[in-house]
Amino acid sequence: MKTQTRSIARITTLLVGAMTIIVSILVPAGYFLVSYQYMMGSLDTQAESSAQAITRLVMANPDMWRYEEVRLMEQLERRTTIDIPEARRIIGLHGQIIAESSAPLTPPVISRRHYIYDAGSPVAQIEITRSLDHLLRETIFVACGALLVGGVGYVVMRRLPLRAIQQTHQSLEESETRYRSLFESMKEGMALHRIIYDTEGKPVSFEVVEINPSCELILDLKRKSVIGMSGNEFFKGALMDYFSEIVHSAETGESLVFELQGQEKRRYFTVSIFSPDKGKFVTLIEDITERKKSDEQIQLLAYYDNLTGLPNRTLFLDRLNHALAGAVRYGGNLALLYLDLDGFKDINDTLGHAQGDLFLTMVSQRFLGCLRRSDTLARLGGDEFIVLISYTGEERNAAHLAQHLLEEIAPSFEISGREVYTTASIGISIYPDDGRDADTLLRCADMAMYAAKGAGRNGYYFYSQEMNRKAHERMELETSLRHALEREEFFLEFQPIINASRNCLVGAEALVRWQDPDLGTVMPDTFIHVAENSGLVIPLGEWVLRKACEKITQWREAGLPPVTISINVSGRQFEQRSFTDAVHDILEETGADARYIQLELTETSLMRNADTTVCALHKLKELDLRIVVDDFGTGYSSLGYLKNFPIDRIKIDRSFVMDIDQSQDDRSIVEAIIAMANKLNLQVVAEGVETTVQRDFLLNLGCQEMQGFLFHRPLSEDKFIALLRDIQLCSASFS
């Protein structure tokens, strides 16, 4: 700034100096020239008028005028300006002086001449001479005046712009101080950055040039350590996420505002970006944590129940509507569980409101423990809660959840040293079965809840009667199944597998049965799917596997011929990561020879997760077990995967065998399966062979191993042992 001012001052001095010089020279010179011209003019006029007067004298006395000395002198001395000394002469044509009126003249002088005529012919000249001394003196005087004026002008003019510059300078300084103090006292954090470009001129990052004290506070870092910081470090690199927008804003001058969340202590900021200069930008960081918190507080009050912290009715309806929109678009089911505590009024009356509130909070906590993150539990008011779950297919069972919720609140609550018990009545409505909008679904769930209360409380009720019946049956079955597992009310039957052309025993399939004290023998078709849905199939499957292995060992020890046993493995069971380990452990515990065990897995369960399947199958093969694809043809029928899986056999599903003598289609399918199996070097078994016609068809198509009522029904252990003693085993049994 100072050097700028200095150079401006120098230029001003030069300009003003030049002007002063010009003024001091031009004014007196002009004055001189004008006065000189004027003087010449006036000399001319005087000479002319004197010449005329003398001409008249000449004409009056043409011969003797030269001697009329007095009159000539009189003419010479008649003048308009007496104060200016002049010399006047009448000069003859030959240069002789005829008359002269002279005054002493200081040189330099100027003179003018004019002819005197007599009858048109010049006879003499009149000459008037004046001294320039007076004019010169006047000019000097004027020059002095001009110099003085110029000098004063110089001083004044030179000062003026300087003062203006100084004033601007001063006001700039003042505003800079003002800005600096504003910058420093600002509540918002402010930082100036320089954009860093790579060698190709591409912006790659930025660095911090300056920050204000508020920015130090926000970053919790000292100014010194922040200055020079790179974009990746500043604000923990958060601004780099917006880098391209920032560069755009810096280039176009468009301002940019965005919100950031600081990692620590949940802090929120708005960041405004503007660019004061090319290649630079300023961030204005405003801490809006408090505002956010109060917004959240307001949200909390508006959408959450302030006793339990659960969503309130408003938020619940919002979520329900969202879920409904999602279900309409992407399919899937929703279930609403309307929960009402039984006898809460009594609890409230005995314990008082404060304890009643505490109790409700504890209940809501237990409910929450039963739910997934994607479920919504809301408090509708009083002791009424509602749960929203979404699920696809059979995957999620509302009845299960209801049961779970009831079990969860069954144990006592401890309130002020007292044990308090409660139960609940739950009403369930299902989208889309019971309704397609929030109102209807809520109403149905509410009505179902009253039905549950009417049915004796501590239970759940579906709005739909059909679903109600099914759900209760299923739940009952599940409960009995659980007890059956605890009491080991299961046993195995063995259905022989025969080589139909050689008429020898290939092996047997172990089939589970449930011996219920009330229902008698229950077949797996009735309970396996319930076991699968509830996960009970996992312990059940393990039980079957262990039992079958025990039998293999027992029979071997009893000296019976070694026979291969086929064991069904459910998809749920096989999906368990620990499945192969469980098989390994059971083999060790029972001492069964793995070479005589064959696992039956359905196509669907093999295909569910092809990658892990390959891995698990290889592990099983390492244990020396055989693998059969059960119900072949009913699943994906993707033949390609068979190549990738280490499989030994495929079992053609009963549905193809059933109509083999009537349906050409089924025959073609079976034929194709057999052809493919031969190609892949796999054995084929046909199940469900009931007639000799079916058997012959299969034999004709090249399938020899068969299982079905035609040969044997599933046999009790005793009967199977008897058969083992009797029948001949095929020599290469299950290789």
Least Å from the CB of residue 523 to ligand C2E: 5
For Ca ion, the closer of residues 55 and 605 by Cβ is 605
Tell whether residue 570 is a contact of ligand C2E (CB under 6 A). Answer: yes
Instruction: Name the pairing type of β-strands 626-632 and 203-211.
Output: unpaired
Q: Of these, 686, 714, 715, 730, which contacts ligand C2E (CB under 6 A)? A: 714
Q: Of these, 148, 410, 523, 639, which contacts ligand C2E (CB under 6 A)? A: 523
Out of ligand C2E, Ca ion, none, what residue 688 binds, judged by CB under 5 to 8 A for its kind, is ligand C2E
Tell whether residue 630 is a contact of ligand C2E (CB under 6 A). Answer: yes
Give residue for tokens 């001449």: 113
For ligand C2E, the closer of residues 377 and 512 by Cβ is 512
Least Å from the CB of residue 245 to ligand C2E: 58
Tell whether residue 598 is a contact of Ca ion (CB under 5 A). Answer: no
Give the relative orientation of helices 353-369 and 398-409 as an angle to the nearest 10 degrees.
Answer: 140
Q: Of these, 340, 600, 603, 666, which contacts Ca ion (CB under 5 A)? A: 600
Q: Of these, 389, 528, 606, 652, which contacts ligand C2E (CB under 6 A)? A: 528
304 secondary structure, DSSP code: B
Is the CB of residue 223 less than 8 Å from the CB of residue 211? Answer: yes
Give the Cα separation of 281 and 273 in Å (integer). Answer: 7
Q: Of these, 451, 511, 565, 647, which contacts ligand C2E (CB under 6 A)? A: 511
Q: Which long-range contacts (CB under 8 A, 24 or more apart) does 671-678 make?
A: 671/701, 673/632, 673/633, 674/701, 674/702, 674/703, 676/639, 676/642, 677/650, 678/702
Give the Cα separation of 282 and 329 in Å (integer). Answer: 46
Tell whether residue 15 is a contact of ligand C2E (CB under 6 A). Answer: no
> With CB under 6 A as the contact rule, which of the stretches 324-332, 426-434, 481-489, 685-693 interacts with ligand C2E?
685-693
> With CB under 6 A as the contact rule, which of the stretches 15-23, 205-213, 303-311, 708-716 interacts with ligand C2E?
708-716
Tell whether residue 524 is a contact of ligand C2E (CB under 6 A). Answer: yes
Tell whether residue 430 is a contact of ligand C2E (CB under 6 A). Answer: no
Tell whether residue 500 is a contact of ligand C2E (CB under 6 A). Answer: no
| End-to-end Cα, the chain, rounded Å | 100
Edge-to-edge strand ranges of the sheet holding 109-118: 97-101, 86-92, 121-131, 109-118
Q: Provide the 3-class DSSP secondary structure of residue 260.
A: strand
Beta bridge partners of 337: 387, 428
**Segment 50-79, which members bind Ca ion (CB under 5 A)?**
none
Tell whether residue 628 is a contact of ligand C2E (CB under 6 A). Answer: no
Q: Of these, 212, 275, 495, 568, which contacts Ca ion (CB under 5 A)? A: 568
Least Å from the CB of residue 569 to Ca ion: 9
Tell whether residue 568 is a contact of ligand C2E (CB under 6 A). Answer: yes
Give the Cα separation of 479 and 162 in Å (integer). Answer: 102
Tell whether residue 150 is a contact of ligand C2E (CB under 6 A). Answer: no
Give the Cα separation of 666 and 456 in Å (integer). Answer: 54
Tell whether residue 493 is a contact of Ca ion (CB under 5 A). Answer: no
Interface with ligand C2E: number of residues (CB under 6 A): 23
> With CB under 5 A as the contact rule, which of the stretches 52-60, 133-141, 569-577, 593-601 interacts with Ca ion?
593-601
In Å, how far from its chain's centre is CA 125?
113
For Ca ion, the closer of residues 425 and 707 by Cβ is 707
Closest among 606, 707, 712 to 657, alpha carbons compared: 707
Tell whether residue 356 is a contact of ligand C2E (CB under 6 A). Answer: no
List Cβ neighbours of 411 (8 Å cut-off, separation of 6 or more): none
Is the CB of residue 592 less than 8 Å from the CB of residue 552? Answer: yes
Q: What is the 3-state secondary structure (H, E, C) of 214-231?
A: HHHHHHCCCHHHHCCCEC
Give the relative orientation of helices 289-303 and 313-330 as an angle to the nearest 10 degrees.
Answer: 90
Work out the burial of residue 647: count CB atoms within 10 Å of its CB; fewer than 13 is exposed, 13-18 middle, 19 or more buried. Answer: buried
For Ca ion, the closer of residues 90 and 715 by Cβ is 715
What backbone phi and psi angles, to 5 degrees, belong to 41?
Answer: -60, -50
Tell whether residue 67 is a contact of ligand C2E (CB under 6 A). Answer: no
What does the binding site for Ca ion look like in residue numbers (CB under 5 A)? Answer: 568, 600, 630-631
Catalog residues that contact ligand C2E under the rule CB under 6 A: 495, 511-512, 523-525, 528, 537, 541, 544, 568, 570, 600, 630-631, 687-690, 707-709, 714
